[in-house]
Structure 1
Amino acid sequence: MHGTTELIASLDLGTTSARAIIFNAEGRPLAASQKPLTQYFPHDGWVEQDAEEIWQKQKECLLGTLADLKLSGSGLRALGITNQRETTIVWSKKTGKPIYRAIVWQDRRTAAFCERLHDSGFEPLIHDKTGLCLDPYFSASKVRWILDNVEGAREKALAGELLFGTVDSWLIWNLTGGLGHVTDVSNASRTLLFNIHNCRWDEELLDIFGIPASMLPRVVPSSGLIGRTAPAILGAPIDICGAAGDQQAATFGQACFKPGMTKNTYGTGGFLLMNTGSTPK
């Protein structure tokens, strides 16, 4: 029915659910699985998720699609990841356990801190380096909040004991059994810490937000070999060959390949993205 060596698994960890789809070489979906994610709202304007649930639900979806096709992991040629962007997870380098719930992109708890940075005149510099406005939406102020509000977190971070990642990083860390702490450029560019002109983490931005560089994942291209899954997860090491934030992935998926082409996505939010070509606008 299908050539198993050409099957590709797509993992889609969105804002409200985890999903996995297995495609054949022609791009036809053969199996899909989806599971809802628990949302937590501990205070007005706060939005959190359980990072360990994120991983478990995503793994269950992947294993479920394989079971539907009566396949083991060795039946996959590769897998790729797309994810809710900006959502922030900080975990222990030693144990692999999160030190706080994932702070979701919608969360507004750091609005006052961002306003202080704005009043201090930092917004033009931040915008010039990142292309983004200074807003709680993005990851940097969320990381700072965790370091400042979880007991002992800043000391552990300064000692090199904590890691930060967006959801793609968290999934790759777990898929590789803790061997891969990476993110792709599309997710890195949504943190307020990434210089889009030289495609590197920016020391000046890290200093503004008070985040140790040792916490940050290695930045890799969105397409290409990122790592391999730990054999124990799928029964065989499978190449992880792609990662992209959900809105950039949708822009590519809807074939916006030429400058000026634009897409709208209507999901948990409404997102308009345009291909501006090779020159930052």
Structure 2
Amino acid sequence: MDMKYIVALDQGTTSSRAILIDSEGNLISIKQKEFNQIFPKQGWVEHDPIEILETQLEVFNQLLTENNVNASDIISLGITNQRETVLLWDRRTGKPLYNAIVWQDKRTSDICQKMKEDGLETYVKKNTGLVIDSYFSGTKIKWIMDNVEGVKSKIKQNNVLCGTIDSWLIYNLTSFKSHVTDQTNASRTMIYNIKELRWDDKILNYLGIPSTILPKVQMSSSNFGTFNFKGIEIPINGVAGDQQSALFGQACFEDGMVKNTYGTGCFLLMNTGNNLKLSENGLITTIACSSDNK
């Protein structure tokens, strides 16, 4: 019997990687390609979405070619990604309307300060689990809408889609068929209600973001569409933000287990179990994963 494989796409802040794992759980190969960091102004950080897509496809193709693996032997594709980084694109052409604004970017600090002055801190913390900060996606979306010429008119024409990097990759891998994200990525946007598991109307209305441009939110372990690679349909069956993926990659399966990851930043996550817990000591709460309505 021919060996079957799983491929994980790891789209990070500084590079795109593809990882090949066999059906027995053995790590076979990793391919990696760095891409450009764009710094238009002090405190601004951007990525070229096309370069992200191209480097991700390049390492996927390289992974299969150099390991003599046929696409038909890939039984599933998983995606993990840098979180919070967000972009808007044309629904029909798939062309980005602006560079992706990266999680490190601080250009929306003034918008965040205004939200605090308008008394939204308690509501945001209670319903999204997050603090108001330019780190998260919501204010970045507003900035693009307010500052990039033509975006609002395209939105009125129902010709704009928005998403974090997972959503951008899936949209392209599925040939524009799937505009989706998962709950771990949605919970890092500051516009997703983690209690009701839906986009938060109050925050969307405040920021002027129409829900029509946002992706459908699915469980992390679910089908996100299929990637047609040279005529072979490969199902995309798992999506999660990179730090949540690392939590489970480091086997933090039980309540109270903690991992710390050193990468572009330092990220400490604790598994708090199935019940929502809000910190009273300045920590944030986010969704670690979701499957089978759990």
Work out which of the residue numbers 208, 225, 228 in structure 2 matches 1:227. 225
SS at match of 1:243: strand
- How far apart, CA to CA, are the structure 1 residues paired with 2:117 and 2:237? 42
Determine whether 1:246 maps to 2:245. Answer: no
Determine the structure 2 residue equivalent to 1:35.
33
SS at match of 2:223: strand
- How far apart, CA to CA, are the structure 1 residues paired with 2:160 and 2:116? 28
- How far apart, CA to CA, are the structure 2 residues paired with 1:119 and 1:87? 25
- How far apart, CA to CA, are the structure 1 residues paired with 2:224 and 2:175? 14
Determine the structure 2 residue equivalent to 1:3.
2
Which structure 1 segments of 5+ residues have no match? none
Q: CA deviation at 1:235?
A: 3.0
Pairwise mapping of residues 85-96 of structure 1 onto structure 2 (< 5 A)? Answer: 85-96=83-94
The letter of the residue matching 1:165 is G
CA deviation profile, 1:186-222 (whole Å, cap 9, x unmatched): 0000001111011111111110111011110001110
CA contact 1:9–1:23 (8 Å) conserved in 2: yes
The letter of the residue matching 1:122 is L
SS at match of 2:224: strand
Determine whether 1:131 maps to 2:132. Answer: no
Which structure 2 segments of 5+ residues have no match? 278-294
Number of residues of Structure 1 aligned to a counterpart in Structure 2: 277
Name the Cα RMSD after superposition: 1.1
CA deviation profile, 1:36-64 (whole Å, cap 9, x unmatched): 01000000000000000000000000000
Pairwise mapping of residues 84-163 of structure 1 onto structure 2 (< 5 A)? Answer: 84-163=82-161
- How far apart, CA to CA, are the structure 2 residues paired with 1:68 and 1:215? 39
Q: CA deviation at 1:155?
A: 2.1
Determine the structure 1 residue equivalent to 2:172.
174
SS at match of 2:169: helix
Determine the structure 2 residue equivalent to 1:187.
185
* TM score, norm. by length of structure 1: 0.96
Work out which of the residue numbers 70, 76, 79 in structure 2 matches 1:78. 76
CA contact 1:158–1:212 (8 Å) conserved in 2: no
The list of structure 1 runs, each at least 4 consecutive aligned residues, that deviate by more than 4 angstroms after superposition, is none
